[in-house]
Structure 1
Amino acid sequence: MAIHHAQAGEVVSVQPLAGALAQTKTTTLVKSEHLEVLRLVLPAGKEIAEHQAKGDVTIHCLEGRVTFDVGGKSIEISQGELFYLHAKEPHSVRSIEDSSLLVTFSL
């Protein structure tokens, strides 16, 4: 079965998952030639090793708290905050609490 990605004009809910957070997996919401949007779900303590994206990235914390290590600095974001990374900027991520993030990549 193919994974459903939202089509232009389709409404997608990105409300906090609350009680469903622990049972929800990361999901790609939109994927096109130049853009990808996903809901990244991270349980508390989860770490994503240093990596980089081809294009610019925005990260909107929908719920929880996470720390990004970027350029020798640790930057924490929590619910309602948005974070931006330049293309090819090395970074790692660590979830402080159960969290979900809306991540947008330019491709």
Structure 2
Amino acid sequence: MQKTSLIALARHELAHAREASSGRSAKTVFGGHEHQLRQTLIALKAGESLAEHANPGEATVHVLEGRVLLRAAEASWNGSPGDLLAVPAGLHSLDAIKDSVVLLTVVKSR
């Protein structure tokens, strides 16, 4: 069994994001290329974003810290700590309104 403190990891990755020229940092906490399920902790400085990209399968974004905006086509959803956002199929993007940390969970389509 593996135990991970998401709170400690969030602090660590957000510190990296604040120092990085890209304004972001990420770490896979479960799964990977060889698994269908992948969970990745993503930290973004305020004003940074994950540009529009396609969804590799079913996905959710769990907001751990900060405030984000998930956009898809003409719709958008605000996320605050504790919110779980279901990522719609198709192209979407994620903007950090404040310094933010999210847990992205993806089940890749076969």
TM-score (norm 1): 0.80
Tell me, in whole angstroms, the C-alpha distance in 2 between the residues paired with 1:20 and 1:93: 17
Tell me, in whole angstroms, the C-alpha distance in 2 between the residues paired with 1:81 and 1:73: 17
Q: Which residue of 2 aligns with 1:96?
A: 97
Tell me, in whole angstroms, the C-alpha distance in 1 between the residues paired with 2:105 and 2:37: 7
Q: Which residue of 1 aligns with 2:5?
A: 13
Specify the code of the residue in structure 2 equivalent to 1:93.
L
Moved more, 9-18 or 72-81: 9-18
TM-score (norm 2): 0.78
1:34-58 CA-partner distances (Å, limit 9, x unpaired): 1111101111000222111221001
1:68-96 CA-partner distances (Å, limit 9, x unpaired): 1113112110111000124x421111100
Unmatched runs of 5 consecutive residues or more in structure 1: 1-8
Tell me, in whole angstroms, the C-alpha distance in 2 between the residues paired with 1:36 and 1:14: 15
Kindly report which structure 2 residues correspond to 1:34-53, keeping only aligned pairs within 5 A, or say none: 34-53=36-55
Q: Which residue of 2 aligns with 1:26?
A: 26
Taking a change above 3 Å as real, the CA distance of residues 20 and 51 of structure 1, as seen in their structure-2 partners, is: closer
> Over the residues paired in the alignment, what is the CA RMSD in angstroms?
1.9
Kindly report which structure 2 residues correspond to 1:56-71, keeping only aligned pairs within 5 A, or say none: 56-71=58-73
Tell me, in whole angstroms, the C-alpha distance in 2 between the residues paired with 1:51 and 1:20: 22
Q: Which residue of 2 aligns with 1:72?
A: 74
Specify the code of the residue in structure 1 equivalent to 2:100.
S
